[in-house]
Amino acid sequence: MSKSLEGKTALVTGGSRGIGAEIARGLAREGASVVITYRKSREQAEEVTAELTALGVKAFALQADQADPRQAAAAVEDAAGYLGGRIDVLVNSAGVAAMGMLGQLDSLDDVQQMIATNVTGTIVTTHAAARYLSDGGRVILVGSIVAERIAAPGVAEYAATKAAIDQLARGWARDLGPRGITVNVVRPGATDTDMNPAAGPFAAAQIAGTPLGRFGTTDDIAKAVTFLAGDNAAFISGALLSVDGGFSV
């Protein structure tokens, strides 16, 4: 049985754990060679690349702080070199969250770090990747449903960074469309990760607001990304795909 991404190459930022790691696995299962980036989790990154290699694809991990423009751009250059000079699929998954009520955030530094990672890092990475993106390629940004619906207090600044992701995708869809490159956003709702565990103290309220009555899994998100990376999504661009169990309805 043929794989939908056989022979393709992919760069996944923030691919050492959680949603990013599962996205890397999903792309590799469909035959793509994958480079992931990580900030601190070297051991976890190496474990992920070992898994990918066991699936029969080339895989490599690069250390890069997405909040540092030089490191983010350099990681793209290194990834493109490893992948043979081209990137067919770019997934911007790296992100951080700083939560706090208005007037009660612990540090403005946390907000600046979040903006640098979630917004500036995504911009730098995508601009750096533009010359390596193959015609007909894919750019997929991992956003959040909070860009559309803020159902709890204390997330305004985080939501603003994810709303920026939505608009970047819409604009880049125009910029890259003439080359046949699609740009889309996958917007997770409550997803079971170490940052927001399904057994955590805030889980019950999130589940209560989700029609399907459960947290999403990282695999739920990865499947949406893999779909957008494949040929069946060739005429989908500028879309905001909510993977949230109906939370946003």
* Residue 53 within a domain: yes
Positions annotated as catalytic residues are 158
Angle at 43 between CA 40 and CA 45, to 5 degrees: 75
- pLDDT at residue number 8: 98
Q: Determine if the pTM surpasses 0.85.
A: yes
* Residue 4 within a domain: no
How many domains does one find in the chain? 1
> Could you report the per-residue pLDDT of 4-51, keeping only the tens digit for each?
999 999 999 999 999 999 999 999 999 999 999 999 989 999 999 999
Phi/psi of residue 90, nearest 5 degrees: -110, 120
Find the helix packing angle between 42-54 and 18-29, rounded to 10°.
20
- CATH code for the domain in which residue 92 is found: 3.40.50.720
- pLDDT at residue number 23: 98
* Residue 247 within a domain: no
- pLDDT at residue number 134: 97
* Residue 249 within a domain: no
Structural domain of residue 187, as residue ranges? 9-242
Mean pLDDT to the nearest integer, 100-120 = 89
d(CA 37, CA 48): 11
Exposure b/e, 173-199, CB count within 10 A at least 16 = b: beebeeeebbbbbbbbbbbbbeebeee
* Residue 79 within a domain: yes
* Residue 54 within a domain: yes
- pLDDT at residue number 196: 86
